[in-house]
């Protein structure tokens, strides 16, 4: 490709609303343009990178025996109702009514549709099967941001495994795990496999692939000693042993004006946060529920959702709180409460001498014994892990790292095959539901993640594997006939030998050409100028390191082919 023919609308400054590096640089470099909130056009450079990411994903999917499909992006509501996700998925799903009055959705993901096709698998002899596609997905994000990281329309590779039993699913899951490791290595992304919540996808387990980045939206608890890693929606940590206070009698404590854990620590007769009960009044699918934690702990909402299976979760309003408990927030507790579901974090199990609200404004209870005074219905992990807490496995301090989610794999089991009727005959002739897995990688999100990891103050610095071009030939002066001729000869030779090369043949100042090449991040630049050429040499510059070396003109093609082929591996 010749730069004079290429559409690359570079900008000096990024949009005012761009905060993330990928957003700034992909806009400035002429890779993408925003149509409206959460929807981006991929320009020629952006599509080249996008396609190269997709090609790497396809290569690794094909290597594990996966077969590529292309399924509709628009789905009838009926199939989502059968799976139960018509009700389970909230406002992030685009729903609309067609001219015949039928409900439809734009697919957020394709579990239901692949399961529908899988009904044509009738015997265990056809298993295992792995199917995949790279297809547009639609999610009505309330606040699209960070360039391609949070959008409302995006291409995703979603693959699905179909097995006869859980052992088969375990194997398919591991095969995908290993393929994902290879994909992220090829993309030169430092992805970490972490334990994760399955969320609305359901199933028995899931693993996320996380890339550390300050612009990410997930927090991951990581142990630098033993390698434990889990999304904080799932993470656990050890807690130090606590000695309870010697307060066995339940006593009403006047607490005028006290409305917070911190305030209760400071008054006479109060208690340190570790000896308090935090009472969170939550509404789970319309049911008012009390979630109890130690006073110094925070509620992890996803843990509450996972443990209860609730779909619609929100804090109770002040009016609901007064109606059900008789007091305002700040004076709430679960002592002697009846008729409400009470869920308690294990950090409170067996504790005594605690302080909690008395469900009367300006009053608390002191000397609370959990087993004696509170009728707990369920014990389940509810708390958010904090940095520095001991690792559950080895006891070393945990670090909390902000990350970008670049991939997610799920063990679905029979969550979709059962309700949608995807059954096969096993060796005994018994009908069994297919045991499924689901595995996703966002293509555009991966582009953004690579841009976040590989850039500097001059612009992008793409790895060879996904760069829009592998080499740019920069002719310093388009008026120097010898330079132009040398550039054309090298361009033709590199193209004939399979190198993805861009010839910068523009009639522009050398400084402009150098700045543009650095901004769009082409891995290698060959500079052909009159002075070096007169000595039989050209300059070779690595975008990643900035190092420049002189190379004989008759050796540059061999050198580049060898370097690029090595980097591709």
- 556-568 and 481-496 are packed helices; what angle lies between their axes, rounded to 10 degrees? 40
Q: Which pairing describes strands 471-475 and 501-504: parallel, antiparallel, or unpaired?
A: parallel
| DSSP letter assigned to residue 389 | P
Residue pair 59/183 in contact (Cβ under 8 Å)? The answer is: no
pLDDT of residue 87: 87
Among candidate residues 347, 346, 345, 316, the one with its CA nearest the CA of residue 332:
316
pLDDT of residue 537: 96
pLDDT of residue 199: 63
Structure tokens at 284: 């789970």
Angle value at C-alpha 345, between 340 and 351, nearest 5 degrees:
100
pLDDT of residue 201: 53
Residue pair 27/18 in contact (Cβ under 8 Å)? The answer is: yes
SS3 246: coil
pLDDT of residue 204: 62
Contacts of 145 (CB under 8 A, 6+ apart): 19, 20
Count of alpha carbons within 13 angstroms of residue 414, beta-carbon side = 13
SS3 553: coil
pLDDT of residue 139: 95
Q: How far apart are CA 370 and CA 349, in angstroms?
A: 7
Taking only the tens place, the pLDDT of each residue in 68-114 is 999 999 999 999 999 999 988 888 999 999 999 999 999 999 999 99
The full DSSP string for 214-234 is TT-SEEEEEETTT--EEETTT
Cα 456 to chain center, whole Å? 23
Among candidate residues 538, 458, 534, 459, the one with its CA nearest the CA of residue 491:
538
Among candidate residues 361, 269, 374, the one with its CA nearest the CA of residue 321:
361
pLDDT of residue 331: 95
Strand partners, 475: 528
> 293-321 as b/e, with b when 16 or more CB fall inside 10 Å?
bbbbbebbbbbbbbebebeebeebeeeeb
Contacts of 347 (CB under 8 A, 6+ apart): 239, 293, 294, 297, 383
Which parts of the chain register pLDDT below 70? 198-204
pLDDT of residue 365: 97
Q: Domains in the chain and their CATH numbers?
A: 15-71+107-235+400-452 (3.30.930.10), 251-379 (3.90.960.10), 469-568 (3.40.50.800)
User: How many residues in total does the chain contain?
Assistant: 569
pTM greater than the 0.85 cutoff? yes
């Amino acid at each position: 490709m010749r730069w004079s023919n290429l559409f690359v609308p570079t900008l000096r400054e990024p949009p005012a609303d761009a905060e993330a590096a990928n957003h700034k640089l992909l806009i400035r470099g002429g890779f993408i343009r925003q149509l409206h909130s959460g929807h981006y056009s991929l320009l020629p450079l952006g599509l080249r990178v996008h396609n190269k990411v997709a090609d790497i994903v396809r290569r690794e999917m094909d290597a594990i025996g996966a077969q590529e499909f292309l399924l509709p992006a628009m789905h009838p509501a009926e199939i989502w109702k059968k799976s139960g996700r018509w009700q389970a998925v909230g406002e992030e799903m685009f729903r609309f009514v067609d001219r015949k009055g039928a409900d439809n959705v734009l697919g957020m993901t394709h579990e239901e549709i692949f399961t529908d096709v899988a009904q044509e698998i009738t015997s265990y002899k056809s298993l295992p099967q792995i199917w995949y596609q790279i297809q547009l997905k639609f999610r009505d994000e309330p606040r699209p941001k960070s360039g391609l990281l949070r959008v409302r329309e995006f291409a995703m590779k979603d693959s699905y495994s179909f097995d006869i039993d859980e052992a088969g699913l375990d194997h398919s899951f591991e095969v995908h795990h290993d393929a994902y490791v290879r994909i992220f290595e090829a993309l030169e992304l430092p992805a970490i496999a972490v334990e994760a919540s399955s969320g609305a996808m359901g199933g028995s387990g899931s693993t996320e692939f996380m890339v550390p980045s300050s612009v990410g939206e997930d927090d991951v608890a990581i142990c630098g000693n033993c390698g434990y890693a889990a999304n904080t929606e799932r993470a656990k940590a050890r807690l130090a042993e606590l000695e309870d206070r010697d307060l066995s009698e339940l006593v009403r404590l006047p607490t005028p004006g006290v409305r917070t854990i911190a305030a209760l620590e400071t008054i006479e007769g109060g208690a340190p946060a570790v000896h308090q009960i935090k009472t969170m009044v939550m509404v789970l699918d319309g049911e008012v529920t009390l979630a109890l934690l130690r006073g110094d702990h925070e509620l992890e909402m996803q843990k509450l959702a996972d443990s209860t299976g609730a779909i619609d979760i929100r804090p109770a309003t002040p009016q609901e709180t007064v109606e059900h408990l008789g007091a305002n927030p700040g004076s709430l507790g679960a002592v002697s409460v009846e008729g409400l579901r009470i869920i308690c974090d294990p950090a409170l199990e067996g504790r005594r001498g605690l302080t909690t609200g008395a469900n009367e404004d300006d009053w608390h209870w002191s000397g609370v014994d959990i087993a004696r005074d509170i009728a707990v219905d369920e014990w389940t992990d509810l708390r958010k892990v904090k940095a520095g807490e001991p690792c559950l496995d080895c006891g070393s301090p945990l670090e909390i790292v902000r990350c970008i989610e670049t991939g997610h794999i799920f063990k679905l089991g029979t969550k979709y095959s059962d309700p949608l009727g995807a059954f096969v005959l096993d060796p005994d002739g018994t009908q069994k539901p297919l045991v499924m897995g689901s595995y996703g990688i966002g293509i555009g999100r991966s582009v953004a993640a690579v841009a976040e990891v590989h850039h500097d103050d001059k612009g992008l610095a793409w790895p060879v594997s996904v760069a829009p071009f592998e080499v740019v030939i920069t002719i310093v002066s388009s008026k120097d006939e010898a330079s132009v001729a040398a550039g054309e000869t090298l361009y033709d030779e590199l193209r004939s030998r399979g190198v993805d090369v861009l010839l910068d043949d523009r009639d522009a100042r050398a400084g402009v050409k150098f700045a543009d090449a650095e901004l769009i991040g082409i891995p290698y630049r060959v500079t052909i100028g009159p002075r070096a050429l007169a000595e039989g040499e050209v300059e070779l510059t690595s975008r990643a390191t900035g190092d420049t070396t002189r190379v004989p003109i008759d050796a540059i093609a061999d050198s580049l082919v060898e370097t690029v082929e090595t980097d591709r591996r």
